[in-house]
Amino acid sequence: MSKRGDRQDTGELPEIPVRFFEAPPQPVSAPEYPGREPQPARKKRHVLRNLIIIILILVLVPAAAFIALGERPGGPASSRGSVTILLAGVDGDGTRTDTIMLVSADTAGRGITFLSIPRDTYVSAPYSVPKINSAYGWAGGGEKGMEELCDRIEEVVGFRPDGYALVNLRAFADIVDAMGGVYFDVPQDMYYEDPYQDLTIALKAGFRLLDGEDALGLVRFRSGYAMADLRRVEVQRDFMKAALKQWSSPKNLLRLPRLISIIKRDVLTDLSPRNILWLLRLPLLLDVESAGNYTLPGMPKTINGGSYFVVDAAKTSELTGRYFS
């Protein structure tokens, strides 16, 4: 006998109410407010801002070092308004300076002047071959060789350079590579091979990016020119002008540590580290595009059966008085 309220067992399963499955609740997004940016965009903006700050630091710190640490070659009380540096390059055996160039920077007039001195320039010296490119090797090379060369430069142009830098073949190619190469219009096809110097030059005429090896072949080539060395010095000046113009941009400040490392390792110079810093900033400040390009005034002559370049003293004095004083 069952009690009141008890469920009678009929043998049937109780009915279970059927419920349809509902979609899971969606996350509630934050209400949008005018002017509010999504969080990812804000993070990207912060990353970009920090990147710009880092780049500015990397560029401005070296620039500040140039200003603060750089020292003018010859000192602030130098007798001439312009600063003139002798750039010389040795040949394959390292005894003759086949590239001799004076680079003058007039910081007041914001100008740069290149003056090439032909390797065959006649000098009054006790060399077996009295050419200016014999000076370095005759004195035994190194610092004594460069001092002898500076003596002959003074004899020829009437003043002594404020400093010098002797660049060997390896250093030249490494410097060009370190600065990202140079875009240059090669004036003609250049093919030359000298197994004794381990030298092979193979350049097609036309405008292209030259790496270190290509640039080295360009500045060494002379046998295919009608004017031989006189034409070569013109091409060397054109290349130097193009290089300085392309390298004188703030972005290349980041390349300077490698450049300075090469200079310390492979360039013979009487310039102090502070002098080098002072000089490295000049392309950023001066009008490289309008740089003057000159060859020492004179003419080829045959002396005792040898080919020489004889200086025109009057024209040289006029030229140096205008651009190198």
**Per-residue pLDDT tens for 114-173?**
999 999 999 999 999 999 999 999 999 999 999 999 999 999 999 999 999 999 988 999
Which has the minimum average pLDDT: 3-7, 63-67, 159-163, 165-169?
A: 3-7
pLDDT at 18 over 80: no
Q: For residue 221, which of 96, 94, 99 has the smallest C-alpha distance?
A: 99
**Banded model confidence at residue 260, pLDDT cuts 50, 70, 90:** confident
Whole-angstrom distance, CA of residue 170 vs CA of residue 213: 9
Burial of 79 (0-12, 13-18, 19+ CB in 10 A): exposed
Q: What are phi and psi of 241, to 5 degrees?
A: -65, -45
Q: What is the pLDDT of residue 95?
A: 83
Average pLDDT over residues 3-7: 46
Q: For residue 244, which of 318, 183, 185 has the smallest C-alpha distance?
A: 183
Q: What is the pLDDT of residue 61?
A: 60
Q: Which residue has the higher pLDDT, 137 or 3?
A: 137
Please, which residues have CB within 8 angstroms of residue 168's CB and are 6 or more apart in sequence?
A: 89, 90, 94, 266, 267
Q: What is the pLDDT of residue 217?
A: 92
> For the whole model, what pTM was predicted?
0.76
Q: Judging by DSSP bridges, how do beta strands 292-295 and 206-210 pair with one another? A: unpaired
151 neighbors 110 (Cβ within 8 angstroms) = no
Distance of CA 238 to CAs 27, 31, 136, 201, 242, Å? 69, 66, 25, 19, 6
Q: Judging by DSSP bridges, how do beta strands 83-90 and 267-269 pair with one another? A: unpaired
**Banded model confidence at residue 25, pLDDT cuts 50, 70, 90:** low
pLDDT at 35 over 70: no
pLDDT at 5 over 50: no
> pLDDT tens across 283-292, in order?
777 888 888 8
Q: For residue 156, which of 314, 293, 313, 309 has the smallest C-alpha distance?
A: 313
Task: Measure the CA dihedral 171/176/179/184, to 10°.
Answer: 160
Q: Which residue has the higher pLDDT, 144 or 32?
A: 144
State the Cα angle at 237 between 157 and 212, rounded to 5°: 130
Residue type, 63: A
Which has the minimum average pLDDT: 15-19, 282-286, 315-319?
A: 15-19
Q: Judging by DSSP bridges, how do beta strands 111-116 and 182-186 pair with one another? A: unpaired
pLDDT at 177 over 90: yes
Please report, for the chain, how many H helices and E strands are present, in that order.
10, 12
CATH superfamily of 81-323: LCP protein (3.40.630.190)
Please, which residues have CB within 8 angstroms of residue 96's CB and are 6 or more apart in sequence?
A: 90, 119, 133, 134, 136, 137
Report residue 52 as tokens: 């710009």
Other C-beta atoms lying within 10 Å of the C-beta of residue 62: 17
Q: For residue 95, which of 147, 153, 143, 141 has the smallest C-alpha distance?
A: 141
**Banded model confidence at residue 88, pLDDT cuts 50, 70, 90:** very high
